Amino acid sequence: MELEQFCSTSRVLIVAGKGGVGKTTVTASLATTAARAGLSVLIVEVEGKSGLSQAFAKPDLDYEETDLAPGVRARTLTPDHALVDYLESHGLKRISKRLSNTGTLDVIATAVPGMKDILVLGKVKSLERDRAADLILVDAPAAGHAISFLLSPRGLLDAVSVGPIRKQATDVIELLSDPSRCQVLLVTMPEETPVNELVDTAFTLEDRVGIALGPIVVNGCYPEMDLDTDPGEITRDAEAAGVFLSAREAQDLARAAAFRVERQELQRVQTDRLEQRLPLPQIRLPFLFSDDVGPAEIGVLADAFQDGIEAL
């Protein structure tokens, strides 16, 4: 698939996955890939703090938009902020501070489950409507929370029968269930538990939220290498190649090779299993041996992302 085509499938892409699978890294890499294709990208961080700005070597994000890289902007959109924002824009500006100081805001938010989530999604919807960017990437809350986050508008419809909040929920459901406007990109790792949880999340999102799923991103795949795990073979190759190898060196090389071969086999088993249980295309991003995620690493992953998209 052409990169431009992939990036314009829907304006909003929600990136979701279990904690520790590298959701934020994936968001940063996809943003970079899309920006390279000439699109303007806005990343929306809904949990406040994440490694996102660090990945671009920039200071922490704020409610105001900041530039992370050419073509890539980002901002936070935390539930608390969204709630105050909403009250202010609904004629409650004067009392919103008092509401939050007295804890009344917490009481209200508790009375209406998912209200804060709705407000966050409502804000995403207005960013989409205003065409705030060609591509809006939402770095969603970690897995379990992502489901309740995306289910919040339906829950709210049950709890609230009238008023602007209900209208907000209806609008958000419209956005979420329109694949030409919004899709979810699920992220996992090639390991058993993350794969299982991804499959469960995928079915829940399709069945209960009715949201379209984009390709699955499998992050942290060891780049495949064809290696010898027998120290004897390695020593023979060394002789043929004209170098001396001590027995210990041969052992170290063989053990490292055996470890990688085993991991490669495991990840093959897991990606196959994922493919069988969830017939969606996969984009595989490499495990990074060299360094923690920074701008250079995001560049490497963006390359892999582009290859993955073009191979779809």
* Contact set for another protein, span 208-267 (CB under 8 A): 225-228, 234, 236-243, 248-249, 251-253, 255-257, 259-260, 262-263, 266
Torsion angle of alpha carbons 75, 80, 81, 84, nearest 10°? 160
Query: Residues 67-86: x/- map of binding to another protein (CB under 8 A)?
Result: --------------------
- For the CB of residue 20, give the shortest distance to another protein in the complex, in Å: 2
Residue 282 pairs in a beta bridge with 216
SS3 204: helix
CB 47 within 8 A of CB 78: yes
Q: Which of 196, 206, 273, 303 binds another protein (CB under 8 A)?
A: 196
| C-beta closer to another protein: residue 152 or 183 | 152
- For the CB of residue 178, give the shortest distance to another protein in the complex, in Å: 26
| C-beta closer to another protein: residue 65 or 197 | 197
Interface residues for another protein in 7-46 (CB under 8 A)? Answer: 18-21, 24
Q: Which range of residues in 4-12, 33-41, 121-129, 290-298 is near another protein by CB under 8 A? A: 290-298
- For the CB of residue 151, give the shortest distance to another protein in the complex, in Å: 11
Side chain identity, residue 189: M
- For the CB of residue 161, give the shortest distance to another protein in the complex, in Å: 6
Task: Rule CB under 8 A: say whether 126 interacts with another protein.
Answer: no
Torsion angle of alpha carbons 125, 14, 153, 81, nearest 10°? -60
Number of residues that bind another protein (CB under 8 A): 75
Interface residues for another protein in 83-112 (CB under 8 A)? Answer: 87, 90-92, 95, 99, 102-104, 106-108, 110-112
| C-beta closer to another protein: residue 156 or 182 | 156
Distance in angstroms between the alpha carbons of the first and the last residue of the chain: 5
Name, in order, each residue with C-beta under 8 angstroms of 107's C-beta and a sequence gap of 6 or more.
none
What contacts 24+ positions apart, CB below 8 Å, involve 146-150?
146/14, 146/16, 146/17, 146/201, 147/201, 147/204, 147/205, 147/208, 147/209, 148/114, 148/117, 149/46, 149/117, 149/120, 149/121, 150/14, 150/121, 150/176, 150/184, 150/205, 150/209, 150/211
- For the CB of residue 115, give the shortest distance to another protein in the complex, in Å: 7
- For the CB of residue 110, give the shortest distance to another protein in the complex, in Å: 5
- How far is 16 from 65, CA to CA, in rounded Å? 21
| C-beta closer to another protein: residue 101 or 276 | 101
Q: Which of 1, 3, 132, 142 binds another protein (CB under 8 A)?
A: 142
Q: Left if phi > 0, otherwise alpha if psi is -120 to 50, otherwise beta: which for 215? A: beta
Q: Which of 1, 132, 159, 300 binds another protein (CB under 8 A)?
A: 159
Residue positions counted in the chain: 312
| C-beta closer to another protein: residue 62 or 239 | 239
Q: Which range of residues in 3-11, 124-132, 163-171, 174-182 is near another protein by CB under 8 A? A: 163-171
Locate 97 and state its tokens. Answer: 């501070």
